[in-house]
Amino acid sequence: MQKFKEIIFASHNKGKIAEIREILSPLGIKVLSGEDIDLPEVEETGKTFEENAYIKALAAAKEKNIPCFADDSGLCVDAIGGKPGVYTARYAPNRDFNKGMDKLLDELKETNSSNRAAHFSCVIVLAYPDGNYKAFEGRVDGAIATQKSGTAGFGYDPIFIPTGFNRSFAEFDSIEKNKISHRGRALQKFINFLKDNKGSL
């Protein structure tokens, strides 16, 4: 194991990168993104969030020959069979999440179901160049709103209302959201692992 002052997060998603950096900043760890170090994009061929996160983290770890981490996350809506799930980003036409939200709301309306239950899941994988890895999972339950609201956050945040609240994730400030979000919860487990190992991987 080695102590570190910076770590590579294998992602090109600006929204995710900003959240990760904000949550990890109290540890004094510099987070380098896929864009910072020109990591090639990797095709996500996994059937689960963990598989996709592992694919991305392992590719980066082998490329740089150091431990790297990645996440995969998505929105799962009960009434449409858990979709979009691992295809959350690709579900949105041309990865335009505004159109993706419209598509999801239309698909949900077509079911004529009153069930609007949904959850966000996130799995963070820390991968080592030899193929070993550790996974950290987070989940937040909630419901799909009938219309978009709020301008903060990213992705499907404007239509997701977490359980216990009456506003969408896009109406939360980042500090408030990070405390209860799927990514925040997975990252807290990751942080606990780092602390247990006294800053070593």
CA pair distance 19, 25, nearest whole angstrom: 10
Look up residue 45 and give its two tokens. Answer: 């061929």
Residue 38 C-alpha from the chain's centroid:
20
* Range 42-50, long-range pairs (CB < 8 A, 24+ positions): 42/10, 44/72, 44/86, 46/72, 46/86, 47/86, 48/86, 48/123, 49/73, 49/74, 49/86, 49/121, 49/122, 49/123, 49/137, 50/123, 50/125, 50/135, 50/137
72 is catalytic: yes
Q: Which one of 72, 78, 130, 157 is the catalytic residue?
A: 72
- How many other C-beta atoms can be found within 10 angstroms of the C-beta atom of residue 166? 8
Active site residues: 72
